[in-house]
Structure 1
Amino acid sequence: MPRTPSSPLLLAGLLAGAAVAHAVAPEKFDATVPRSLPGTPRQWTYASGVAELALAAGVAHPRTRRVAALATAAFFVGVFPANVKMAVDARRRSPAVRAVAVGRLPLQVPLVLWARSVSRGAVRD
């Protein structure tokens, strides 16, 4: 994604929207939490929502944007296993559900690249 003045705010908005979704409809996210993780899926759902909200705030603020955008790129890499689990779990679901689940996998790449681009465009103090 090209660096534009609005790009960091769009990324922050995406993260904030995802954070709200984790709080409003946690069941959908609970199902994607790998069972090998300690604790309950709901704890991970809420923790990832809180992380997204913190990242959104960091990306939105020019002073913290560079570090927050790099952390966002790492976060997008870190949640990839949940997307893989979603795709695996969708094998026996409808074709539409399978298509959405599998279609999410390659979307992580542009998200990571977008966050890295935002970090490179940030002002260094």
Structure 2
Amino acid sequence: MLYSKYILAFLLVAAGIMHFVKPQTYLKIMPGYIPFHLPMVYISGIAEMVCGILLLFPATQKFGAYLCIALFIAVFPANIEMARKFYLIQHKYFWLTVLRLPLQIVLIWWAWQFRK
């Protein structure tokens, strides 16, 4: 469990950085009802990096865990939208997008472990 926190923190920071390196990837899965797509991609990238950093320190770990949980819930609609779009175009990796949906539950559980 000791290294688990660092793995999740690394994954969050790396994913957050990718929002700035390849924003077009995230723009494609942004649900249409969410306004200001590009700023929201950047905001969610910052949120991911902040979550990862907060998990690293005992003083901020609990807050970081709850923030991670909120983030994973908040980005769930984008994962549904990605699966929907991949289904509509019959993308060969549609099945991977479907696997992402239960992964969100695993990520929430993983972050829950660090709320102590």
- Normalising by structure 2, we get a TM-score of 0.93
Gap regions ≥5 residues in structure 1: 121-125
Unaligned runs of 5+ in 2: none
Following superposition, the deviation at residue 99 of structure 1 comes to 1.0
Structure having the higher Rg = 1
Say how many residue pairs are matched.
Answer: 116
* Structure 2 residue 108 is matched with structure 1 residue 112: yes
| Aligned-residue CA RMSD (Å) | 1.2
Aligned with residue 43 of structure 1, among 33, 39, 43: 39
User: Structure 1 residues 18 and 106 mapped into 2: Cα distance closer, same or farther (>3 Å)?
Assistant: same
Query: Which TM-score applies when normalising by structure 1?
Result: 0.87
Specify which of 56, 62, 69 is matched with residue 65 of structure 2. Answer: 69
Matched, 1:32 2:52: no
Deviations 1:35-59 (A, max 9, x none): 11122x1111111001111111111
Of structures 1 and 2, the one with the larger relative CO (CA 8 A, separation 6+) is 1
1:21 to 4, 8, 18: 18
Percent identical pairs in the alignment equals 32
| One-letter code aligned to 1:49 | G
